[in-house]
Amino acid sequence: MAERVAVILSGMLMVAALLVAGFYAEQVGGCNTTDTDRTGMTETLLVLQSRLDRALAGLDSDLSAAAGRIGTGYGSEGLSWPGTSGELARVAGSRPGVINTLVFSRKGIVTVAAGDETAQVLDASLGDQAHIQRLLATFQPGMSGLFMAVEGYPAVSMATPVFLPDGMCAGGVSALIRPHDFIGVVVQPVIGGSRFHVFVMQPDGKVLYDSGGEGSDLAVDLGHSRFTGLAGAGRKIAAEPSGRTTYEYLAPGLTHPVRKEVLWATAGIHGTEWRVVITRELG
């Protein structure tokens, strides 16, 4: 926990330091940025980072509370005792983007599920998912990277162990999250009406959310880019938890490249990092 707090504080301090250190005083492409734009972009990024961290922590807290109550009620019926469904349903309906929740055994088999689109997951094995494997081996909570859910859309999964009163681990509770919806309810109220473009990506380039629409993948875009500045920006964002850069790209229908300024910071939980990226056109 202390390490996670240190990462968050480090990211926030580095982003704030960009303004103090005078990075924004430079002229980019012959155009001076205004104080209003500089301050607004930085403040917006820090708000988004903080709110995404809180949203992830809130869901993790909901899962942990449900797992505690399910473990307390464990008896002759095991993890499938009558109260389990109600606990899962409470978490599944707790916030946008949480599609369903489920309980899985020590063998990784789904025994109970609640929420939308659960028919395909009952009795399914989660044993091939890396974060579930780690949970069953270490009894620590975790969150996956982006994967294609059996329901047919990109998703991530957060999971936490279920402990019995005697301290034994009986399995875990997991929530399936559609990141475009989960992140969107955090981002849109903050950037609505602004000139800023926001996307959230994994360090491997897979895009979890894009304020311009669903379905982007920066890794693919960079691989096909004719502009080395864009590729360099992507590599820098992936490698560094926070920072600032600029890049050029050729938008569809244009004959001249557009120059953009980029700021980013990192949100996340249980060792899984999300790069929160905010951009704006210069000039």
Q: What is the pLDDT of residues 75-105, one digit of tens each?
A: 656 787 788 999 999 999 889 999 999 999 9
Which CATH number does the domain housing residue 42 bear?
A: 3.30.450.20
Tell me, yes or no, whether 14 and 45 share the same domain: yes
Identify whether 159 is part of a domain.
yes
Tell me, yes or no, whether 76 and 159 share the same domain: yes
Identify whether 61 is part of a domain.
no
* Domain finish residue from 131, 153, 178: 178
Other CB atoms within 10 Å distance of the CB of residue 77: 11
State residue 93's pLDDT score: 86
Q: Among residues 84, 116, 121, 85, which one has the least CA distance to residue 99?
A: 116
Identify whether 46 is part of a domain.
yes
First to last CA, the chain: 42
Tell me, yes or no, whether 168 and 186 share the same domain: no
Q: Rounded to an integer, what distance in angstroms lies between the CA atom of residue 137 and that of residue 106?
A: 10
Identify whether 62 is part of a domain.
no
Identify whether 251 is part of a domain.
yes
Tell me, yes or no, whether 209 and 139 share the same domain: no
Tell me, yes or no, whether 129 and 164 share the same domain: yes
* Domain finish residue from 178, 208, 228: 178
Tell me, yes or no, whether 78 and 172 share the same domain: yes
State residue 87's pLDDT score: 94
Identify whether 60 is part of a domain.
no
Residue 133 belongs to domain spanning:
67-178
Q: What is the dihedral of CA 25, 258, 218, 153, to 10 degrees?
A: 120
State residue 16's pLDDT score: 39
Tokens in use for 143?
Answer: 């969150």
State residue 208's pLDDT score: 94
Task: Tally the domains of the chain.
Answer: 2
State residue 19's pLDDT score: 33
Tell me, yes or no, whether 222 and 170 share the same domain: no
Alpha helices in 73-161 (DSSP H): 83-92, 130-138
- Structural contact between residues 40 and 194, judged by C-beta atoms closer than 8 angstroms: yes
Identify whether 271 is part of a domain.
yes
- Structural contact between residues 162 and 79, judged by C-beta atoms closer than 8 angstroms: yes
pTM higher than 0.85: no
Tell me, yes or no, whether 146 and 11 share the same domain: no
State residue 3's pLDDT score: 43
Tell me, yes or no, whether 81 and 132 share the same domain: yes
* Domain finish residue from 178, 198, 231: 178
- For the chain, residues with pLDDT lower than 70 are 1-36, 38, 75-77, 214-230, 251, 283
- Structural contact between residues 220 and 186, judged by C-beta atoms closer than 8 angstroms: no
Q: In what helix (H) or strand (E) does residue 219 lie, and over which residues does it extend? A: helix 218-223
Tell me, yes or no, whether 33 and 44 share the same domain: yes
Q: Rounded to an integer, what distance in angstroms lies between the CA atom of residue 123 and that of residue 74?
A: 19
DSSP state of 85: H
Tell me, yes or no, whether 71 and 23 share the same domain: no
Other CB atoms within 10 Å distance of the CB of residue 204: 11
Tell me, yes or no, whether 171 and 75 share the same domain: yes
